[in-house]
Structure 1
């Protein structure tokens, strides 16, 4: 009986992770629509300041893709936008979405605010800390405040959409 319970729990985690990965991919797509709108309507001087401090003028996903290409003796052309950079960008949404889907039921604190808190956590961890520590972005203080506000907004949108899509998938596809 215990073996069957473990198998059911494992299947539930896998199903949750798969649904969460789909929800994360959709959330990245939605987040990008809002981000591009905000970027296009941002003050040109602010946009220019952001571009100037970015390593190579690229977003962190494209910096990552270009570093991987360099390490393998390849060169991405153009360096941005490039499908490899987009793949990295989407993986940064699919991975956390899978975790959200797999662990949300076991750790309800993850779903606080229907994903808004999760999005905030990703913003702080990824955009404000990991990107600059790993050299994928400049130091947070180098960016204009509008860039931080835009990033925060987009990550909260990501969390809300991930949660909403996951709830819908859970209703439609029973684990």
Structure 2
């Protein structure tokens, strides 16, 4: 149970740092005005997946947010999408081989593929991957790698470990 809580804290820090890196790249890095416009046009309602999820939830219960693009519900969903995988990471890191591979980089990569490239388009919270410019995918990948690395680092500090132990094979 304590590993889940440590993972939640690590995931919250991971998503906070991930956001800073993503915004830095968006504003000063890979994207041009053209690719920003292409990304905005591809997004359902011009919103990121977390705000689309928040809007879907609000619509389901008949609530109208003050601003669909920037609102506390969307931010709550966004942080939940960082905290829950952090909890999962905390629960599995010491128990499942290779979850902590590459100091969390493998986990970050897996989240990028599963969340950004597969689940979000299937759920309708993002457009199909082909509608986004390559820069959006590159930013997403880098941001998720940062998330995985930071989540692992914070979890390691909270746990007093330097790296996950490798599970030993039981003799047959």
Same fold (TM > 0.5): yes
Which of 14, 21, 37 does residue 24 from structure 2 map onto?
37
Question: How far, CA to CA, are the matches of 1:154 and 1:123 in structure 2?
Answer: 9
Structure 1 match to 2:59: 70
Aligned length: 159
Structure 2 match to 1:139: 128
TM-score normalised per structure 1: 0.89
Stretches of structure 2 that go unaligned for 5 or more consecutive residues are: 162-172
Structure 2 match to 1:98: 87
Structure 1 match to 2:48: 59
Structure 2 match to 1:128: 117
Question: How far, CA to CA, are the matches of 1:77 and 1:36 in structure 2?
Answer: 23
TM-score normalised per structure 2: 0.91
Question: How far, CA to CA, are the matches of 2:36 and 2:21 in structure 1?
Answer: 16
Q: Confirm or deny that 1:114 pairs with 2:103.
A: yes
Divergent runs of 4+, >6 A: none
How far residue 98 of structure 1 moved from its aligned partner, in angstroms, is 0.3
Q: Confirm or deny that 1:164 pairs with 2:157.
A: no
How far residue 161 of structure 1 moved from its aligned partner, in angstroms, is 0.1
Stretches of structure 1 that go unaligned for 5 or more consecutive residues are: 1-13
Question: How far, CA to CA, are the matches of 2:133 and 2:70 in structure 1?
Answer: 22
How far residue 108 of structure 1 moved from its aligned partner, in angstroms, is 2.9
RMSD over aligned Cα, in angstroms? 0.9
Structure (1/2) with the larger helix percentage: 1
* 1:34-93 CA distance string (max 9 Å, x none): 111111122111000000010000000000001100110111111111110000000001
* 1:5-38 CA distance string (max 9 Å, x none): xxxxxxxxx1100000000000000000011111
